[in-house]
A and B are shown apart, each in its own frame.
Chain A
Amino acid sequence: MSSIDGAILDFKRLDLLAFGDTALHRLDARAKVIVTALFVMLVVSHDRYQLAALFPFVIFPVALIAAGNLPFTYIARKILLLCPFVIVVGIFNPLIDRAILLHLGPFAISGGWLSFFSILTRSILTVGSAFTLLALTGFPAVCRALEQLGMPRPFAIQLLFLYRYIFVLTEEGGRAARARQLRSCGKKGMGIRSFGTLIGNLLLRTWQRAERVHIAMLSRGFDGRFHSGRETKFGRNELVFICGWSIFLLLLRFVDLSQLIGSIFLGRLP
């Protein structure tokens, strides 16, 4: 179970990064959420065979990581963790779509491979920007920003609770699984059946905890509404950040920068 414990610790690190103190960290969360959302939309909106036009978009996460003083390899590792899922999603494209779309010297590249790499690039870009947003802002602040931007309050509160208790729950689950493993003496234990009861148990315990948390909330005068005394300021810096990045990203989307650069260099060749 060290892997689960390790994964939690690793995740907590992402959380700690949000305590950094750079100009980007200090920026109002709403600005960062808006620009990241725009970024994700623009990246996803590309045609499915589009690959080259996606590459310039990497500037956004890389610039934020650099300006926010974030550990690049750590975030890259987090993104890599997700790659197997993406590969499963896209791996059948090369088998199904065999029409040749592109010739790179002697290599013929089919539409399937092109769309597969397009999916991979898009995932890396969007997931990377989401991780960067979290590392620069912190989950609670992102939730608050979403709420201020119009997401219904119950959703925001659900998300916050999910985030708060995911650590408690995984720790509890990790302990239960460790106890099972230690007593199964290297064999399979009772196989899948013992896992069934283990998960059932975990569900019941979660239920009981939810009840205790509810008591704790009630005894501190909870009446169904969440109050927050936090003041958020949306000033000039935020406006400049949003406008600057929006214009730049829209430009990337509608002007094919790779082609432009390519034609500048290649255009001179005979």
Chain B
Amino acid sequence: MSHHIVELKELHHTYPDGTVALDGVSFTITHGESVGIIGANGAGKSTLLLHLNGYLAPTSGEIEIGHTPITKETLPEIRRTVGMVFQDPDDQLFMPTVYDDVAFGPFNLGLTPAAVEERVTSALAKVEAGHLRDKPPYHLSGGEKKRVAIATVLSMEPSILVMDEPTNGLDPHARRQLMGLMKDFHHTKIFTSHDLDMVMELCDRVIVLGRGKVKADGTPLEIFSNQQLLTECRLEKPLSMQGCPVCGKN
């Protein structure tokens, strides 16, 4: 399944105002991997994600999705492969009803109305939002919006799921629900987060970004045991790896 491979080679990105956001980022993510990208605010995480579906073009360096370099011609195919869920669901839900929103992607793929219907029903069932189908997005709660936002991407059946801060602003129950949902997605997952416990639980690989560079790349246990690295990158151990607040034991 080679079309699930994400390969970045010496990626540089400098914004028009001169800010260097990415400064030589290279890594390869293979099929089925679940990768968490962590780092301080302003480390370049969001900029990196926007490169993955070709919204931003690198200043220099290369990105390949499934051995296909991102160019103007390959862009539609790349965007079909990479499903992106944004941080603020209000940005993602722009159609009048939940149904229209989830059907937006499949219609653009040129599917028949019957096939679209099937995709919408199954995507909404996956996120347990079938009952919200005819509601307008501004009548939903934060957690519901987030789930529907994920359904809008799942309905396109992407091979790679990219999420920016998926658990941001969710209550503990909604967060759990979302994590369960992400576990059920068996293709490649890439997400950024400051929710280190979620990273610990869901990822089998963690990439640490700092000032536009890859500072470390390894298993969650390796990364979160390296106290020096964590301090340098303005991070800390996930709560589950810290001592008990009552007895102090790990």
Contacts and interface: CB of A to CB of B under 8 A. Distances in A.
Interface of A: 12, 15-16, 19, 139-140, 143, 160-161, 163-165, 167-168, 209, 212-213, 215-223, 227-229, 231
B250 interface: no
What 3 A-B pairs are tightest by C-beta distance, nearest first? A140-B96, A227-B107, A221-B108
Given A219-B84, A221-B108, 11 more contacts: A19-B134, A161-B94, A164-B94, A212-B88, A219-B55, A219-B83, A220-B108, A223-B76, A223-B108, A227-B107, A229-B117
Given A12-B138, A220-B156, A163 B84 contact: no
B108 A227 contact: yes
Interface in B76-129: 76, 79-80, 82-84, 86, 88, 90-92, 94-97, 100, 103-105, 107-109, 113, 116-117
B76 A228 contact: no
Interface of B: 50, 53, 55, 76, 79-80, 82-84, 86, 88, 90-92, 94-97, 100, 103-105, 107-109, 113, 116-117, 134, 136-139, 152-153, 156
B135 to A, nearest CB: 8
Contact of A168 (B82, B95, B138, B153): B138
A139 B97 CA distance: 11
Contacts of A165: 94
Contacts of B50: 215
Q: Which has the most chain A C-beta neighbours within 10 Å: B83, B134, B139?
A: B139
A169 B109 CA distance: 31
Nearest to B84: A219
A161 B137 CA distance: 12
B117 A219 contact: no
B103 to A, nearest CB: 6
Given A19-B134, A163-B96, A220-B152, A212 B139 contact: no
Given A164-B95, A168-B90, A212-B91, A218 B79 contact: yes
A15 B88 CA distance: 23
A215 B79 CA distance: 11
Q: Which has the most chain B C-beta neighbours within 10 Å: A12, A143, A217?
A: A217
A229 B96 contact: no
A249 B210 CA distance: 71
B153 A220 contact: yes
B79 A221 contact: yes
Contacts of B95: 160, 164
B91 A221 contact: no
Nearest to B115: A229
Q: Which has the most chain B C-beta neighbours within 10 Å: A19, A140, A215, A223?
A: A215
Contacts of B55: 215, 218-219
B156 A160 contact: no
Contacts of B83: 219
Nearest to B88: A212
A16 B139 contact: yes
A12 B113 contact: no
A217 B80 CA distance: 12
A164 B88 contact: no
A134 to B, nearest CB: 13
A197 to B, nearest CB: 21
Given A216-B94, A229-B116, A221 B109 contact: yes
